Amino acid sequence: MQAVILAAGRGKRMKNLTDELPKPMLKLKGKPILEHKINMLPEEIDEIIFVIGYAGDYIIRHFKHYFGGRRIIYVFQDRMNGTGGALHLARSVLKDKFLVIMGDDLYHKKDLKRMLKHNLAILGHVVEDTSKFGIIKTDKKGHMVAVIEKPKKSKDKLANTAVYMLNKKFFDYDLVPIGGGEFGLPQTLAKMSGEYNIKVEKATDWHAIGNPDDLKAAEKVLHKFL
């Protein structure tokens, strides 16, 4: 099975830490974040597609075309046009069913494994302050119907962790523009809810890495994800 890892951005909130390196190559416990992420992948994943952009040569040099028993394919994103745009670049190398994750956040291995059971799914994590996250809106049966960006108040409390189980039917839908020339993956996935059930899985744990403080905190909690 394939996994797509979106790792094209610089990570501007990391300031000078990403003057040369892309954010996913910053180190935790002496290894790049991306290397830890590969170790978090379920055993069923035997091929990884990296979508790379800023300073992507660092990623290629480190992982080459085979790493940890898995084949590595690289797709280049020259224009930063959102997660939806990034995934479309990998369309030609994708098979029917694939996992999609971000290149920086930490996810629990068993959460990723549970995602593989589904044809279409999104991973959410319970949060108290919904105003900081994209919040997954569900129907009465608990299936995803929308992602609402940073609502001040919401009865739904599951933040989108940006982990998705998808199939190639995703590409039958026009990408949803979210402003600034970007197209949203979760917003496009929500369009599919009119025809397909999209399972919402609840994460055991999740650690987003957006700034230097998040990176320092990740050093202390990394052991919980491996």
pLDDT tens digits, residue range 199-210?
999 999 999 999
Q: Report the pLDDT value the prediction gives residue 12, as an integer from 0 to 100.
A: 87
Contact 130, 159 (CB under 8 A): yes
pTM confidence score: 0.96
CA–CA separation, 46 vs 88, rounded Å?
21
Non-local (6+) Cβ contacts of 224 within 8 A are 108, 205
Contacts of residue 110, defined as CB under 8 A and 6 or more positions apart, other chains included, come to 204
Residue 226: pLDDT over 90? no
- E strands, the chain, in order: 2-7, 27-28, 31-32, 47-52, 66-67, 70-76, 97-102, 106-107, 121-126, 134-138, 144-149, 158-167, 176-179, 182-184, 199-202, 206-207
Please, what is the average pLDDT of the chain? 95
Give the total number of structural domains in the chain: 1
Each residue's pLDDT tens digit, 127-161: 999 999 999 999 999 999 999 999 998 999 999 99
Sign of CA dihedral 210, 211, 212, 217: negative
Q: Which band of pLDDT confidence, cut at 50, 70 and 90, is reported for residue 225?
A: confident
Of 101, 54, 94, 102, nearest in space to 78 by CA: 54
CATH number at residue 218: 3.90.550.10
Which domain does 128 fall in, by range? 2-224
Spatial distance between the Cα atoms of 196 and 119, rounded to a whole number of angstroms: 10
Percent of the chain with pLDDT over 70: 100
pLDDT bracket for residue 197 (50, 70, 90): very high
Query: Rounded distance, CA 46 to CA 69, Å?
Result: 7
Taking only the tens place, the pLDDT of each residue in 37-90 is 999 999 999 999 999 999 999 999 999 999 999 999 999 999 999 999 999 999
Spatial separation of the C-alpha atoms in residues 44 and 33, rounded to whole Å? 21
